[in-house]
Amino acid sequence: MNFNLTEEQQLIKQNAREFALENVEPIAAELDKTGRYPAEVIKKMAELDFMGMPYPPEYGGAGADYLSYILVVEEISRSCASTGIIYSAHCSLAAWPIFKWGSEELKQKYLVPLCKGEKLGAFALTEPGAGTDAAAGTCTAKADADSYILNGTKCFITNGGVADVYIVFALTDPAQGVKGLSAFVVDANLPGFEIGKHEDKMGIRGSQTTELVFKNCRIPQTNLIGKEGKGFGIAMQTLDGGRVGVAAQALGIAQAALDEAIKFAKERVQFGKPIATKQAIQWMLAEMETKLQAARLLTYQAAAAKDEGKIFSKEAGMAKMFASEAADWICGKAIQIHGGYGYIKNFKVERLYRDAKICTIYEGTNEVQRMVVSGSLLR
């Protein structure tokens, strides 16, 4: 059993870290403050072939494995969680359904520019009345000649308003419930497609989160992904990969919090000595590192299972659940080590604490992950 990264993976991780330190870290606090979308960083990531990293070169990708992509998500998120989720939602959620189930026409028209970073992608499943209960959605797509007419509202959509391509789930046969759900590729510039409310979030503030509103939006029938009625399965399988991406985002946030805690503990002097000499601080740091390394192993294991073509729903659920809760806990301890300074916005750990929380919620709450994992055990 080998837990070591390959030489190529180590190089990818190093390059991603250097890129993040040079391009992402300097603007992370500003993105958090202003909520600005970092278009210039995404453009540079495209130039380095990050945007289509786990996809074949014939579709504009880098041809890397999923674990290599996860390493990039982790290192980008270590500097800025907002940029990390922009990237992860694009790569894990938007590009994958087209690659896995899309026709060759859809791949050439949409996957290639997504992988090249010429277009940004988003994934639209959640609705105001259908979050965890995805089967309760009311967005519809009615067949009409050579088109589908899309009506309804989606919410909490990452990359909303800045994406060029949206993967949208809608009922083609409402009477069938979840068995009538289908998946579509929708261009952002189509008539009848509007961006609704922009959410003012607690964390990941540089990531745009909006409503999508469809009012008799006509899309070509050729933009159907796979077959009618197969949308729920497409969504769930796509979310498995996305959950590994969220776990990697959590790893990056947690690593950054630990880095800050160690640095502060060495510099902060109380009672004539750095607080790093105090056993109470040392024990907190030891537990933080232990939880982080356990989360990292679970996350890399899930990515490796995906690379091996295995069913990895359980592994993805465990990784997302454990890594996100570890990040939440580690960020809390980092603030505790900083004392009153940790509660001040000028200190990075305050932002990290706010960013970490969402990892326990989106792409399936951790309560859902517990259902997934326990369900796999009780079959």
Residue 189, both tokens: 């510039």
Task: Report the mean per-residue pLDDT for the chain.
Answer: 97
- pLDDT value of position 134: 81
Mean pLDDT of 144-151: 96
Residue 1 has pLDDT above 80, yes or no: no
Predicted local distance difference test score (pLDDT) of residue 248: 98
pLDDT of residue 37: 98
pLDDT at 132 over 90: no
Antiparallel, parallel or unpaired: β 121-124 and 165-171 = parallel
Active site residue 40: no
With CA atoms as reference, report the closest residue to 122 among 187, 216, 41: 187
pLDDT of residue 126: 97
Rounded CA gap, 30 and 43, in Å?
Answer: 18
Q: Is the model's pTM score more than 0.85?
A: yes
In angstroms, what CA-CA distances link 360 with 272, 327, 369?
A: 39, 9, 10
User: Contact 302/315 with Cβ under 8 angstroms?
Assistant: yes
Kindly report, residue by residue over 343-355, the tens digit of the pLDDT: 999 999 999 999 9
How high is the pLDDT of residue 135?
78
Percent of the chain predicted with pLDDT > 90 = 97
Q: What is the per-residue pLDDT across 281-340, written as a single tens digit (0 to 9) for each?
A: 999 999 999 999 999 999 999 999 999 999 999 999 999 999 999 999 999 999 999 999
Catalytic residue among 7, 350, 363, 367: 363
Is there a contact between 210 and 196 (Cβ–Cβ < 8 Å)?
Answer: yes
pLDDT tens digits for range 2-48: 889 999 999 999 999 999 999 999 999 999 999 999 999 999 999 99
Task: Tell me what percent of the residues of the chain surpass a pLDDT of 70.
Answer: 100
pLDDT, mean of residues 97-102: 98
pLDDT in tens, 161-176: 999 999 999 999 999 9
CB neighbours of residue 207 within 10 Å:
28
Domains of the chain: 7-120 (1.10.540.10), 122-231 (2.40.110.10), 239-377 (1.20.140.10)
Secondary structure percentages of the chain, helix, strand, coil, to 5: 60, 15, 25
